[in-house]
């Protein structure tokens, strides 16, 4: 079961709010998961700590050099004495879905590499990456938002991270409603802009409520 997540990025500040707020923030504060963000720039090359360079063969845009990722991963592995499963974020990777998240949640320790620019030198994938993951068939400007998506969906699956164990059982993509959408949910007020909460939810008949919920899972 997952207990360690480390992110490697040139923009560690992007993770400040992510790791301090909400379900993820609470899980980290309660030591349910060990989470850290490593600045790739510390492993940059030369006096400018450079992490990218022009493409061999020509072409627009810069490519992330292999040495900083390689050295950052080696540094973290040696420092923490761990054997991580290494994910690289990439639009051509395996698509992230609930099945993939479930598989990944069985790994003990995961490192996520965040690409930028035209992507990461292929030798990083060949030498150190176990799996490339895509969050969908579109292009983002960097791997940080995909890394947050992966991390968030993994952290909320760690036992006792969510307030009520019910919360992961009855969600869209949960096993017993898989393939169907979760029923709509309502809170106060009873009537909003002329739209009323379905009567069945107001009458306290739990059998009828469960039947209605089943019917609404389409
Ligand atoms: C601008 S993108 C590079 C796109 C690349 N030139 C291409 O056409 O496939 C820069 C980085 O953002 C991340 N990225 C962008 N879209 C992504 C997606 N859909 N899923 C996962 N990572 C993505 C990857 O780390 C990628 O290396």
pLDDT of the residue at 170: 72
pLDDT of the residue at 127: 98
Which of 10-19, 60-69, 159-168 comes out lowest in average pLDDT?
Answer: 159-168
Does 135 contact ligand 1 (Cβ within 6 A)? yes
pLDDT of the residue at 182: 86
Query: Ligand 1 centre and the CA of 123: distance in Å?
Result: 16
Say what the pTM is.
Answer: 0.94
At 74, which helix (H) or strand (E)?
helix 66-80
Q: Is residue 161 part of a domain?
A: no
Of the candidates 99, 97, 68, 103, the residue with the CA atom closest to the CA atom of residue 85: 103
At 98, list the tokens: 């609930």
Mean pLDDT of the chain: 95
Does 139 contact ligand 1 (Cβ within 6 A)? yes
Give 98-127 pLDDT, tens digit per residue: 999 999 999 999 999 999 999 999 999 999
* 111 shares its domain with 180: no
Averaged pLDDT, 136-150: 98
Query: Ligand 1 centre and the CA of 142: distance in Å?
Result: 6
* 52 shares its domain with 108: yes
Q: Is residue 160 part of a domain?
A: no
Owning domain of residue 176: 166-216
* 28 shares its domain with 132: yes
Query: Ligand 1 centre and the CA of 207: distance in Å?
Result: 48
Does 119 contact ligand 1 (Cβ within 6 A)? yes
Most informative mutation of 9, 55, 91 for ligand 1 (most atoms within 8 A of CB): 91
For residue 183, how many other CB atoms are within 10 A of its CB? 19
Output the CA–CA distances (angstroms, integers) from residue 154 to 24, 46, 103, 181, in the order listed: 10, 36, 10, 21
Domain count, the chain: 2
Q: What is the CATH number of the domain that holds 205?
A: 1.10.1270.20
Q: Of the residues 129, 155, 181, which one is the last residue of a structural domain?
A: 155
* 53 shares its domain with 109: yes
* 135 shares its domain with 173: no
Question: Whole-angstrom Cα distance, residue 170 to residue 69?
Answer: 39
């Amino acid at each position: 079961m997952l207990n360690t997540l480390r992110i490697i990025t040139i923009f560690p500040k992007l993770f400040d709010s992510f790791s301090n707020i909400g379900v993820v923030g609470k899980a980290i504060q309660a030591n349910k998961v060990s989470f850290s963000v490593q600045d790739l720039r510390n492993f940059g090359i030369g006096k400018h700590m450079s992490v990218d360079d022009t493409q061999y063969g020509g072409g627009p845009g810069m490519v992330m050099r292999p040495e900083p990722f390689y050295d950052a991963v080696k540094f973290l592995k040696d420092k923490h004495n761990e054997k991580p499963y290494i994910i690289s974020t990439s639009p051509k990777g395996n698509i992230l879905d609930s099945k993939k998240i479930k598989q990944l949640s069985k790994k003990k320790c995961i490192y996520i590499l965040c690409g930028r620019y035209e992507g990461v030198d292929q030798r990083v994938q060949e030498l150190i990456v176990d799996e490339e993951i895509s969050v969908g068939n579109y292009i983002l400007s960097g791997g940080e938002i995909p890394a947050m998506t992966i991390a968030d969906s993994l952290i909320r699956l760690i036992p006792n991270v969510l307030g009520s164990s019910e919360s992961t059982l009855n969600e869209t993509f949960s096993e017993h409603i898989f393939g169907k959408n979760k029923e709509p949910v309502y809170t106060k007020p009873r009537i909003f802009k002329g739209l009323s909460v379905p009567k069945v939810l107001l009458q306290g008949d739990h059998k009828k409520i469960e039947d209605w919920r089943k019917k609404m899972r389409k």
